[in-house]
Structure 1
Amino acid sequence: MVTYRALSTRWTARLLAGAALVAAVCSPAVAQPWPSKAVTFKSAMAAGSTTDATAREIGKMLSDRMGQPVVVDPLPGSGGLVAAQKVINSPADGYTLLFVSNGLISNQAMRARPQTDLSKDLIAISPLIEGYFGLYVNAELPVR
């Protein structure tokens, strides 16, 4: 004859075994180190441009520091929107970044109806360099 105590002990043992199994399967996720694979810079300017060269140099420095490759993928077009759209549509995992000059921002400000709201679709991580613009003419032109 099975007593209440024996049934209770068996039930408790099964409950504990089940709880242990669930705990083992549902253990908290361990954060993966970043980066664990190549990082891609989507550059908004053509290969060989100043922006592209700067992206490659910064990518090299980051690669040396992080121990993972940084790939520069030049995607010129539409004032930077082609590269921006690629980043917006990429997985939000931190492995695809937009490397862009201020041209993309000023381009958006000049459009009557921008295709995308960059302030909602992207977030700035860090300013990288400061540049200056100049207006030049031939030195033989008689102006000062």
Structure 2
Amino acid sequence: MLIDQIARILLLPVAAAALFATPTGAPAAEKYPTKPIRFIVPFVPGGGTDITARAVGAKMSETFGQQVVIDNRPGAAGNIGMDIAAKSPPDGYTVVLVSATHSVNPSLNKNLPYDLVRDLAAISQVTAQPYALTVHPSLPARSVNELVGLLRAKPNFYTYGSSGTGGLSHLAGALLGSLGKAQWIHVPYKGGAAAMTDLMGGRITVLFATIIGTRVHVNSGKMRWLAVSTAKRSSAAPELPTVAEAGLPGFEISGWYGVLAAAKTPKSIIATLNRAIVDAVKSPDVGPKFAADGSDPVGSSPEEFAAHIKAAIAKNGQIIRDAGITAN
């Protein structure tokens, strides 16, 4: 009798474990998500990050059968939204859209409240955006080599604009000067629109700008493209050579968007999110829209995107140090 009682006591934990155990071959991640997902956009509504997040979020909602809520948290060059995401519970119910700008911030701001690599987990790169090396039509240069020749012939005579100090268009101009062994003058603006206006007016000479933002002006003859900034030609303007192939090997500057979650989010949940995001990027009603806007759809693995972020931080940091760029 006593032996039977002891056996029953010993078997109680086993029975309880069996009651709450997940069936064989069905990981706990299959129960995710069971509630809405917050998708933080660290910039204002209506911009490229917002449009991208809404397109991807809508497809994620379809996949999961759960609402994906866009939460715009702008401020501090995108760092407020990133910090909120980094400090959120690592349960997969908060994700954030990261941009190439965030890979520049660590080199310009040593007091960031979060670490892009340590405090956030990569899920997938969504798109890559080339910049078009765009010049005023009066400039007597129709190739990258001819532009570099002009810059060398008249040091600190020609100007290039940017959307702001430390932005990717600034880094692109600095890298071109460094690789071309030429000196020219940087003119920062508060946003790309003002720089575009001054390029059309001939008040600056060159601007690295988006393909979609400059196409209409190029077609009307108010601007001229010379090349694209990425390592590969863009599907949005395949006739344009890359800056590297047109005369400056090693040149590569790319805008990009991707999705992150808080560090320590379970790998099974990261994998679930990755599949949904990749499916969204490659879907026939999302991918072509990105391409039409001048972006190249990507859809990478978490490991690939994590490596991409680390490489971008290192490369951008080197450009900033070599050019002596500071935040102020």
Query: TM-score of the superposition, structure 1-length normalised?
Result: 0.81
Contact 2:86 2:114 in 1 (8 A): no
Equivalent residue for 1:44? 42
Q: Which residue of 2 aligns with 1:70?
A: 68
Per-residue deviation at 1:124? 1.3
Deviation at 1:110, TM superposition (A): 1.5
How far is the alpha carbon of 1:43 from its aligned partner?
Answer: 0.8
Contact 1:42 1:97 in 2 (8 A): yes
Could you tell me which residue of structure 1 aligns to residue 117 of structure 2? Answer: 119
Over 6 Å off, 4+ runs: none
**Residue equivalent to 2:146:** none
Mark the runs of 5 or more structure 1 residues left unpaired by the alignment.
1-9
Could you say which residue in structure 2 is the equivalent of 1:3?
none
Aligned to 2:5: 14
Deviates more, 1:27-36 or 1:37-46: 27-36
1:26 matched to 2:17: yes
Q: Could you tell me which amino acid in structure 2 is paired with residue 141 of structure 1?
A: G
Correspondence for 1:94 among 88, 92, 95: 92
Q: Deviations over 1:9-65 (max 9, x none)?
A: x12110121123222223354225111111111111111211111100100011112
After TM superposition, the score normalised by the length of structure 2 is 0.38
Question: Mean Cα displacement is larger for which, 19-28 or 118-127?
Answer: 19-28
**2-side partners of 1:68 and 1:141: how far apart?**
51
Taking the aligned partners of 1:46 and 1:110, their CA distance within structure 2 comes to 22
Question: How far is the alpha carbon of 1:133 from its aligned partner?
Answer: 3.2
Structure 2: gaps spanning 5 or more residues = 23-27, 135-195, 206-223, 225-328
1:67-92 per-position Cα deviation (integer Å, ceiling 9, x unaligned): 11111101011112111111111111
RMSD: 2.1
Letter in 1 for 2:13: V
Counterparts of 1:65 and 1:22, CA distance in 2? 37
**1:35 aligns with one of 33, 36, 41:** 33
Task: Say which is worse superposed, 25-34 or 50-59, in terms of deviation.
Answer: 25-34
Q: Matched residues, percent identical?
A: 30
Q: Give me the whole-angstrom Cα distance separating, in 2, the residues matched to 1:108 and 1:79.
A: 11
- 1:53 paired residue number: 51
SS at match of 2:69: strand
Secondary structure of residue in 2 paired with 1:92: coil
| Higher Cα Rg, which structure | 1
Question: Using the alignment, how far apart are the partners of 2:114 and 2:65 within structure 1?
Answer: 34
Look up the match of 2:107.
109
Query: In 2, are the aligned partners of 1:45 and 1:100 still within 8 Å (CA)?
Result: no
